[in-house]
Structure 1
Amino acid sequence: MTTYFSETQICCICGSENECSMLGSTNTMGSPDLDLRPPPMERETMHVWFQECHSCHYVSVDLAQESENAKSIVDSEPYQAMISRSEIPEIARRFALCALLNAHDREIAATALLRAAWSCDDADADELAKSFRNQSADLLVKMQPFEDSEEQATLATTLVDVLRRAERFEEASKIANLLLKFKAVKRTPVMLAVVNYQLSLCDSQTAERRQVQDAIEAA
């Protein structure tokens, strides 16, 4: 069961008062996607993961908290242009704004762009979803070389799926083959199954969404 509650937040950028819907509790049922998008019911709570000021469109988990250089970023041309892009689904646009606010941190920005792609998936906006995945992948690729640790291996495994879903099969396969040499992957049966499954999907040039459970069953 998912529950929500209402909270008033004062925007730190423009001072506007915002009535925000906040997540109280939720649960998960089923398997996450290969890019770690959570299963229902948690995946249906994306509309409250970030709040957006109704006045200046500043985006944050807490509108009262100002992120680094937030005011100048909100006033910037790229941010204002993103606000005006009505063809982008509302939740996806919110995540794209989050990526702009966090451009100084590649991983946070890439994660926000991937979540924008998820929102476009939900809206059947396939080309927009692919575009956001490409942007996310471009940021994550720049974080190479990945260390042989559980955290970095998980990030690289997610990148493999982002690349595959963007139909960048050769790049995805190259990283997947590197991951097979990681001790962090070899000692984690689920991660090893996912990497091998990704290689088979790349070989068949399959770009559709798949779940971790699919990889486990295919192992």
Structure 2
Amino acid sequence: MPNFLAMPVPSSAPSRPPAAEALPRCAVCGTGSRQPPFRPDPPEQAPDLDLRPGEPVRSTMARWLQQCPSCGYAAPNITKAHPAAAQAVAAAPFRALLAESGYPPLARRFLAWAHVLEETGALHAAAEATLHAAWVADDLGKDDLARMWRLDAVALWRGGPPLDSEQTVRIIDALRRAEAWNDAAATAEGLGLADPPEAVAQVVSLERRLIAARDAARHTVATALPPPARRPHVSHQAAPPRTTARGEGFVAKLRRWLRRG
């Protein structure tokens, strides 16, 4: 016989629903909005010479940044902001950028993040975000915008702290892709004369050949570097750009890319 005294007694009170999950709040204006987190898998294909990652990360750019639906602040995580970000977001240039209908919406998001970074003094990070806008233009076949934003990225890189090998290689590629042939050739020659590490020298050598041929097309790192032993290029992998260790140089990235798989 069951022991009814030991059995739980149903409660007449209605069960309480779980508390609603708090929405992320914009660090600039305080607006809450749904912002799904983005954690990409490592790319399986070689990155471009400017280190745009290969697939499958290549096609996920629409999820790299969050954007507040109220004030327009864009960042990898809009719940965090530099103390001066609110002033930059409220200013006329930022508002005009958001209203620029001639720019693709995703490119505007990257440019909005670049604008805040530039206004808060992070020029190299602003160059990176501006280059991402150029990648968006590439995908949409908007060559004029891609060239303009690559040159803007170069100006930001050069306007910031002294450049390392990685940034200089990416400047060379940006100049080549923007068809700024003389500047690209001079920059490549200067880096080559600086006796860079072997991996950088191989990439610079390829860039110089492409510049001489007036080739402004996209090329991958696999074109410049021989494949690792026992593995074809298609099996190369690289960590996505947003998880790269801060301050890691071009050679370290290439070595890690060649080791993975």
Query: What TM-score do you get using the length of structure 2 for normalisation?
Result: 0.73
Q: Which has the higher contact order (CA 8 A, sep 6+)?
A: 2
Count of residues in correspondence between the two structures: 204
Residue pairs, 1:130-149, within 5 angstroms? 130-143=147-160, 146=163
- For the residue of structure 2 that corresponds to 1:30, the secondary structure is coil
Correspondence for 1:175: 187
Gaps of 5+ in 1: 1-5, 147-151
1:182 is displaced (CA, Å) by: 2.8
- Partners of 2:161 and 2:31 in 1: CA distance: 41
Structure 2 residue corresponding to 1:124, chosen from 135, 141, 151: 141
Q: Which amino acid aligns with 2:201?
A: L
RMSD: 1.8
Partner of 1:155: 167
- Checking the alignment, whether the CA contact within 8 Å between 2:173 and 2:207 is kept in structure 1 is yes
- Counterpart selection for 1:72 from 72, 76, 87: 87
- C-alpha distance in 2 between matches for 1:202 and 1:62: 38
Aligned residues of 2:126 and 2:153 also touching (Cα < 8 A): yes
* Correspondent of 2:212 among 203, 213, 216: 203
**% identity of equivalent residues:** 30
**Equivalent position SS for 1:194:** helix
Greater percentage in strand: 1
- Hey, what's the Cα distance between the residues in 2 that align with 1:89 and 1:21? 22
Residue 29 of structure 1 is matched in structure 2 by 44
Deviations 1:5-28 (A, max 9, x none): x99311122221110122134121
- String of CA shifts for 1:119-146, please: whole Å, max 9, x gaps: 1111111111111111111122335864
Match of 2:122 among 105, 120, 124: 105
Scaled by the length of structure 1, the TM-score of the pair is 0.87
1: CA distance, partners of 2:181 / 2:200: 19
Alpha carbons 1:52, 1:59 under 8 Å: kept: yes
**Residues 192-216 of structure 1, C-alpha deviation per residue, up to 9 Å, x if partnerless?**
1110010111111111111111123
1:101 to partner: Cα distance: 0.2
Q: 2:72 is matched by which residue type in structure 1?
A: H
Q: Which residue of 1 aligns with 2:33?
A: 18
Structure 1 residue 33, shift from structure 2 partner: 0.4
* Higher Rg of the two aligned structures: 2
C-alpha change, 1:144 and 1:14, in structure 2 (3 Å) is: closer
1:50: Cα distance to partner? 1.3
